[in-house]
Copies of this chain bind each other. A is one copy, B any other.
Amino acid sequence: MAAGETRELTVDLGERSYPIYIGTGLIIRIGEIFKERAIPVKSPILLVTDSSVADLYADRVEEVFANAGYTVTTAVVPSGETSKSLEMLDELIGAALEAGLDRKSTVIALGGGVVGDLAGFVAASYMRGVRFVQIPTTILAHDSSVGGKVAVNHRLAKNIIGAFHQPEFVLYDLDTLASLPLREVRAGLSEVIKHGLIWNADFVAWCDENADKLLSLDSEALGYALYEGCKVKSIVVSRDERENDLRAILNLGHTIGHALEAVAGYGELLHGEAIAIGMVGSARLAAKFGYSSEIAEETERIFKKFGLPVRIPASCDPEEIMSAMLHDKKFSEGKMVFVVPTAIGSVEIRNDVPSSWVREIVDELREGN
């Protein structure tokens, strides 16, 4: 296990503030961290993970807890988005009851954003709320582990059943990322870069220069990038915990991105891939509003460098994309609302986007055009 710097970041939310630890070799320290935080040994822990991650890391986590004197029950859900369901909530509540979890117990998410969102909602609703800890194992989860949004999906809409439930702490052990498929690495980095694009031009430049290190999971580079990504999200969330205004800037690229995910069929395009295309689209909107066309060129160049798609798959019908966007809940009262960059590193929210512009961009970006 490579010894490296551990970075620590506080998500500042008053009495709900919590730390994020980012570094290598952290899992073996989790028992110690539980004790420091006076988490009672007598109260059983539920460790929620998915079928891919369980085989790789669950034993290690269980062992550390056993050595520290804690009782852990592991619940494994199938890998993939379909596990974010009320059926799985039902099963996990059953598992929590059978394991004897009480009001002082902790639910831990060991996995990517799927496990984080699902286990987080279990923690939010079991006995009306118990302690929650995140051990993210994907790069994308740097995004989902900050901000306290937890949820499951409904047949008719994603993330529609949920809560705001802040974790006790987040333990980002970079060692777990080594097993992540390259496609998931790229998709996760797409959200990291997004955090740069909305807030910090220097960080975008740094990502650009360090693309190779990031893609090869160099611990030092990755630790820094995840720290910076979490930091941007955490600043935004601290200023607007409940998504009243500022938090909307985090949706850069997501209006088009969500529509693409839905039209391509969930799972065809990874979330990070869909929003990379979406960010290129938003940057082109910027040009239509009179901002420099270099923003779009730069955005496209960087995502390409990271091996991310920057064109809409030819299989996606433009009409369907447009109608999916019109159903997106981010449109308030029928007008088209978009997060639009004004330069690399800063954005504004526009609620005056003509749908004809969006349609033009969708057409331009379609593969083969």
Question: Are B97 and A157 in touch, CB under 8 angstroms?
Answer: yes
Within 8 A of B (CB), among A103-138: 103, 124-129
Question: Are B161 and A163 in touch, CB under 8 angstroms?
Answer: no
- How many chain A residues touch B (Cβ–Cβ < 8 Å)? 29
A97 contact set on B, CB distance < 8 A: 154, 156-157, 160
Contact with B along A134-155 (1 / 0, CB 8 A): 0000000000000001010011
Determine whether A37 belongs to the interface, using a CB cutoff of 8 Å to chain B. no
Question: Are B149 and A128 in touch, CB under 8 angstroms?
Answer: yes
A225 to B246, CA, bound (A): 47
Within 8 A of B (CB), among A306-337: 329, 333
A125 to B164, CA, bound (A): 9
Determine whether A93 belongs to the interface, using a CB cutoff of 8 Å to chain B. yes
Given A42-B333, A86-B89, residue A161 in contact with residue B94 (CB < 8 A) = no
Which of A90, A149, A329 has the most CB atoms of chain B within a 10 A radius of its CB? Answer: A90
Q: Which of B94, B155, B163, B333 lies in contact with A125, CB distance below 8 A?
A: B163
Question: Are A127 and B160 in touch, CB under 8 angstroms?
Answer: yes
Given A126-B161, A129-B163, A161-B93, residue A156 in contact with residue B98 (CB < 8 A) = yes
A303 to B281, CA, bound (A): 71
Determine whether A102 belongs to the interface, using a CB cutoff of 8 Å to chain B. yes
Determine whether A162 belongs to the interface, using a CB cutoff of 8 Å to chain B. yes
A155 contact set on B, CB distance < 8 A: 94
**Given A90-B154, A127-B162; 14 other pairs, CB 8 A cutoff:** A42-B333, A86-B90, A93-B154, A94-B154, A97-B156, A97-B160, A125-B125, A125-B161, A125-B163, A126-B161, A128-B149, A128-B151, A128-B162, A129-B164
Residues of A participating in the B interface, judged by any CB pair closer than 8 Å: 42, 86, 89-90, 93-94, 97-98, 102-103, 124-129, 149, 151, 154-157, 160-164, 329, 333
